[in-house]
Structures are given as structure tokens and as C-alpha cells.
Structure 1
């Protein structure tokens, strides 16, 4: 099953990464900003869980690992320099690029699953591999959304001095928290 991810979803995902300061390398940050600003190029970017056996790929890893934090591969040519990748991406905006983000915090977030696509050369279907985790992330995101709405409503009840509403909403929030455990 193939998933189509819009440019808007990809921009939101990259913005989410940048807002959390998950990347320390300035050139990689610039590259993500460039991708966000170029809709044509963003359209050929595919976020996958593994970039094996593709012609053109980018891998961004956590700085804590022993391997390079950035790797760009085009057929048989490989570089760890984001600037060289930028120039190649700028000059060739037609061929698909597969992006793997090997950052633990990213791979555990619900937003990651919303933009994850299948690598056409992988045997294992991404939905088979991550289906349970994606379901869990969806439920968790929904609970967080409800908790945020309840917290805002509780604050409004406090602001308006509505004691009955405060107790009712607090009870609902406590029930939600018990369900999470």
C-alpha cells in the first residue's frame, strides 16, 4: 500500500524537527529550510524508515552515534557534506530522493508515522512493520489532544469562577490520566 504525503505535511514535519532543536549541524538545518522552501523538490522527497537499494538518498543520524550524522548517496557517489548534497538537489529536482531520519525521538513520535512512506525496494511493507506502533502513536496523540482541551477548559472554568464545571472537567481529566497508565 502506497501512502501519498503532501508537501504541507512534510513542511510541518520538518518544522517540528527544527522547533525541537533535534539537529545541531548548521548545514543540515539550512538544507531542511531549503527543502521546505522549494515545493518542487519537496515533492520528490520521500521519508522512509530505510534507504537501502535506492538511487538517491539522504540519511540524517543522531550526533551521539559513531557513524556520520549526514550521508548523501547518488547512485555510486557518496558524501557526508550537506553543501554538496544541496548543490546536487538544487540542480536535479526530478529524481526521487529517499530520506531516512535515524533519530530516536523522531522515530517515536506520531508525526513521523504521518509522513512515513514506503521504500519501493523494500520487501517488508511499512504498514506491516510499524502498524502497531502507528496505532499506539495515534491513540497517544488523541489522548494528548483531549488532555490539552480539558486543561484549557479547566483554566477557563477557574477564570470564570465556575466551580461545578471545574470539578466536572477535573474528574474527566483524572479518568483520562488513569486510562493512560
Structure 2
């Protein structure tokens, strides 16, 4: 997954988040501060609404929310031990970290929405990406075809201007084949 959200924005959001929200477990704040203080790690942090299917995820909840306080999932292993999550992150700094935060008004918080990304592991995201890829490929092919049509038309005009019947016939044939495709 390409990193589209700048590290500065992620850090600004986390600073603001930690100032405004009391987390259910204080170790979560320590973990978020650890991430925030390492730009290399922050490049690998992705904020998601739903972390299902991701290879490595932190789920963190603020006070006043009916969600589990903390969970760390790596592949199929799940723990509520923040220290294990910290050690895994510290030892595996090249792995992406997907964070699902639960706090009041999260869907209306502009800073949160600015750092929020799509979960690339959800089937509908993959289907949407594949559909986009197909449309982009079709658009590219059509653009190339239109460019070729234009160049052939220009070459035909030049052949006509030069009175070159043989080239004219050959290019006209190519143009007709291209129009049919």
C-alpha cells in the first residue's frame, strides 16, 4: 500500500487525539506516543475504520465508547496485552500497522477523516481497485487508439499532399483496420 497520508498529518492527528480523549488503557497512550516519536514507523501507520483482514492491527478505544479497550491482532493471533503489541512493533519495524480508533464523533472529526484510509484487505476494496484498474486500462487503450488514428490521418494527408498513391493506399488500409478494432 502506498503511503498517501503525510507523516506530519498523522502525528498532528495523534497529538490532538491524545489531548482530547482519555483512553480506556493508559498503555495505549504510551504505545501511540512511541509510534508518534518515530517517523519511520509513522510512515507505516494507517488509520482505518475497520481493520478486519489486515495482517497487523491495533484496535484502541477512548472512554465513553462501547468497544473493547485494546486489542492487537497479527495474522490470526489476538491479544489484549499492550506490551506484546509494543514488542512486536519494536521488533518488526518494516511491517505496516493498521490502527482502528474508537472515539466519540470520530466520523465527524476533520483531522481523523484527513488521515483515514481505505482498508486494502477488504474484499470490496479489492474489487473496487480491480474495477478501477480495468477502467484505467480501457481508457489507456482507447487513448492509444485515438492517438494512432490521428497520426495515421496526418500521414494520409501528407501522402495525399505529396501525391504518393502507394503510401496513401497502405495507410488508408491501416486506418480502416484500426477503426474496426
TM bucket (normalised to shorter chain) is: 0.5 to 0.7
Greater Cα shift, 94-103 or 61-70? 61-70
Q: Which residue of 2 aligns with 1:18?
A: 18
Change beyond 3 A, Cα 1:63–1:113:
same
**Greater C-alpha Rg:** 2
Note the 1:49-64 alignment, pairs <5 A: 49-64=49-64
Note the 1:43-54 alignment, pairs <5 A: 43-54=43-54
Look up the SS of the partner of 1:104 in the other structure. coil
Look up the SS of the partner of 1:58 in the other structure. strand
Q: Is the 8 A contact 1:3 1:117 kept in 2?
A: no
In 2: Cα distance, 1:121 partner to 1:50 partner: 10
Q: Is the 8 A contact 1:17 1:106 kept in 2?
A: no
**Residues 141-167 of structure 1 deviation map (CA, whole Å, 9 limit, x = unaligned):** xxxxxxxxxxxxxxxxxxxxxxxxxxx
Q: Given the two structures, how large is their TM-score scaled by the length of structure 2?
A: 0.63
In 2: Cα distance, 1:21 partner to 1:81 partner: 21
Structure 2, unpaired ranges of 5+: 129-181
Note the 1:167-178 alignment, pairs <5 A: none
Q: Please, what is the CA RMSD of the aligned residues?
A: 2.2
Look up the SS of the partner of 1:46 in the other structure. strand
Q: Which residue of 1 aligns with 2:81?
A: 81
Q: Which residue of 2 aligns with 1:152?
A: none
Structure 1, unpaired ranges of 5+: 129-181
> Which consecutive segments of 4 or more residues in structure 1 shift more than 6 A?
none
Shift of 1:66: 5.2
Aligned residues: 126
Shift of 1:74: 0.5
Q: Given the two structures, how large is their TM-score scaled by the length of structure 1?
A: 0.63
Q: Is the 8 A contact 1:3 1:118 kept in 2?
A: no
Q: Which residue of 2 aligns with 1:110?
A: 110
